[in-house]
């Protein structure tokens, strides 16, 4: 993309819509000025202002003092110049000529809880995922508590930079989104390669196909994968993208649900919130004691083995 073409895209792109696509949990709303969360640096209190000046969108991070246009925001979030330019180009295609008349063409995040995920369908996304899966090696999954064969079974991959590529499976086995765990994180550890699809939960293969199987909800997709292999098919497993992730209670009605989060304060708060959500949804959900030594599922499986993790989970679920 030439510099002139990039400048035109920056001038017309809906910055709140772009933020909402990339970080659904930010609270940004397409076409609306306001204050949201700078998710890429772990912002818990909204401190990122999005506003229109001189006919185009700008931003200011009141916590860091940084500011600029859409391109500068993506760079501040840790994207390369090439990645930032490509994302802005794609976003600008669906943006009207001036910010004042932006149409609500992008999904509304509603704090990350109501964005409806759609399957990954573009040829470019499928080709990129296949290439990543072909590059997968033992180094990419080191410390994750699963074997290379198991990682391939759930479709994990490796980017050219060595990042771990995670396809987020839906309840029917479809790929709803593609997430990346950065090998060398800076201000954030994860990012999505499929903006606009929200932050859906990972579903274990064959989800809902076993009669009478309980459901184990786990904080973190990779932890959920380790738990699923450790339980050897005795439970369906949901991996929630962090403590602020949304559990799809709608298709858990009538099932016995167990909740497992990290043993830190954020994990304890998540268990309280999830249990209340379950009560309101009419779902029987039971918080589990955290794993020994404050370990998450991946750490437990890596240190003591998958069999030991399975035994620890079974004891808690009884």
117 domain-assigned: no
CATH of the domain at 172: 3.40.1360.10
CATH of the domain at 15: 3.90.580
Considering 81, 112, 143, which residue would you say is the last residue of a domain? 112
118 domain-assigned: no
Considering 51, 77, 112, which residue would you say is the last residue of a domain? 112
Q: Has residue 3 got a pLDDT over 50?
A: yes
Domain that holds residue 207: 123-317
Within this chain, do residues 173 and 97 fall inside the same structural domain, yes or no? no
Conformational region of residue 304, where left means phi above 0, alpha means psi within -120 to 50, and beta covers everything else: alpha
285 domain-assigned: yes
Within this chain, do residues 29 and 59 fall inside the same structural domain, yes or no? yes
**Could you read off the pLDDT of 201-214 as tens digits, one per residue?**
999 999 988 778 99
Q: Can you list the pairs that 137-144 forms with residues at least 24 positions away whose Cβ atoms lie under 8 Å?
A: 140/164, 143/298, 143/299, 143/302, 144/222, 144/225, 144/226, 144/298, 144/302
Give the pair of three-digit tokens for residue 33. 């000025």
Q: Answer whether 129's CB lies under 8 Å from 178's CB.
A: yes
Within this chain, do residues 96 and 147 fall inside the same structural domain, yes or no? no
Within this chain, do residues 182 and 301 fall inside the same structural domain, yes or no? yes
Quickly state the pLDDT bin for 95 (edges 50, 70, 90): very low
**Could you read off the pLDDT of 225-270 as tens digits, one per residue?**
999 999 998 999 999 998 878 899 988 989 999 999 998 888 899 9
Q: How far is C-alpha 203 from the geometric centre of its chain's CA atoms?
A: 13
Within this chain, do residues 249 and 306 fall inside the same structural domain, yes or no? yes
Quickly state the pLDDT bin for 94 (edges 50, 70, 90): low
Within this chain, do residues 256 and 309 fall inside the same structural domain, yes or no? yes
- Looking at the structure of the chain, the number of domains it has is 2
Considering 80, 112, 144, which residue would you say is the last residue of a domain? 112
Within this chain, do residues 171 and 214 fall inside the same structural domain, yes or no? yes
Within this chain, do residues 192 and 313 fall inside the same structural domain, yes or no? yes
Quickly state the pLDDT bin for 121 (edges 50, 70, 90): low
Within this chain, do residues 128 and 182 fall inside the same structural domain, yes or no? yes
| DSSP, residue by residue, 113-172 | TSPPP-----HHHHHHHHHHHHH--GGGGTTSSS-HHHHHHTT-EE-TTSPEEEEEE-TT
**Could you read off the pLDDT of 42-83 as tens digits, one per residue?**
888 899 999 998 788 999 999 888 999 999 998 888 878 887
Residue 9, helix vs strand vs coil: helix
Within this chain, do residues 160 and 289 fall inside the same structural domain, yes or no? yes
Q: What is the pLDDT of residue 42?
A: 82
23 domain-assigned: yes
């Amino acid at each position: 993309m030439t510099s002139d073409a990039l400048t035109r895209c920056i001038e017309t792109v809906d910055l709140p819509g772009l933020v909402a696509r990339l970080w659904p949990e930010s609270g940004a709303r397409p076409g609306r000025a306001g204050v949201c969360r700078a998710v890429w640096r772990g912002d818990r209190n909204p401190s990122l202002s999005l506003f229109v000046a001189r006919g185009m969108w700008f931003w200011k991070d009141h916590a860091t003092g940084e500011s600029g246009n859409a391109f500068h925001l993506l760079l501040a979030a840790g994207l390369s110049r090439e990645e930032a330019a490509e994302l802005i180009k794609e976003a600008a295609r669906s943006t009207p000529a001036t910010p004042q008349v932006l149409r609500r063409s992008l999904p509304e995040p509603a704090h990350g809880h109501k964005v409806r995920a759609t399957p990954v369908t573009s040829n470019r996304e499928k080709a990129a995922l296949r290439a990543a899966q072909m590059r997968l090696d033992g180094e990419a999954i080191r410390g994750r508590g699963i074997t290379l064969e198991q990682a391939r079974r759930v479709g994990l991959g490796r980017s050219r930079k060595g990042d771990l590529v995670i396809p987020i499976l839906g309840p029917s086995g479809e790929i709803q989104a593609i997430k990346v765990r950065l090998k060398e994180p800076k201000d954030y550890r994860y990012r999505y390669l499929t903006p606009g699809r929200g932050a859906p939960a990972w579903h274990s293969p064959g989800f809902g196909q076993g009669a009478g199987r309980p459901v184990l909800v786990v904080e973190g997709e990779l932890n959920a994968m380790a738990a699923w292999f450790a339980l050897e098919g005795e439970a369906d497993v949901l991996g929630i993208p962090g403590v602020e992730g949304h559990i799809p209670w709608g298709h858990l009605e009538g099932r016995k649900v167990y909740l497992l989060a990290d043993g830190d304060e954020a994990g304890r708060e998540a268990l309280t919130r999830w249990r209340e959500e379950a009560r309101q949804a009419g779902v029987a959900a039971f918080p589990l004691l955290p794993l020994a030594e404050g370990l998450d599922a991946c750490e437990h499986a890596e240190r003591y083995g998958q069999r030991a993790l399975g035994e620890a989970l079974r004891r808690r679920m009884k």
